[in-house]
Amino acid sequence: MNNELIFLDYPPSLIAKKLKMCNDYEAKYGASKTVTAWKKWCESYDYRKKEWQWRHNVAKSINYNTNYLKPYYNE
């Protein structure tokens, strides 16, 4: 069995709805970095795919047997 996940894009109707929400928010409150990022996410397939890959690679990089709070040296 293959453990690799495959990117499946969101339906265009949901992406269009999110983009409309972003545009409405921006018209009401002005531009912000968060809205700019969401608009870029809505407008670019490659951006959505790379963001998805980044999130999954971060999750894969976590080693559950490691205490990340322990210093690197022995006390």
pLDDT digit string (tens) for 6-35? 899 999 999 999 999 999 999 999 999 999
The overall longest dimension of the chain from CA atoms, in Å, is 56
**Burial of 8 by CB count in 10 Å (0-12 exposed, 13-18 middle, 19+ buried)?**
exposed
* pTM exceeding the 0.75 threshold for the entire prediction: no
Closest CA to 39 of 55, 16, 56: 16
Place of tokens 């970095």: 33
Is the pLDDT score of 2 beyond 60?
no
pLDDT digit string (tens) for 54-71? 999 988 888 777 777 777
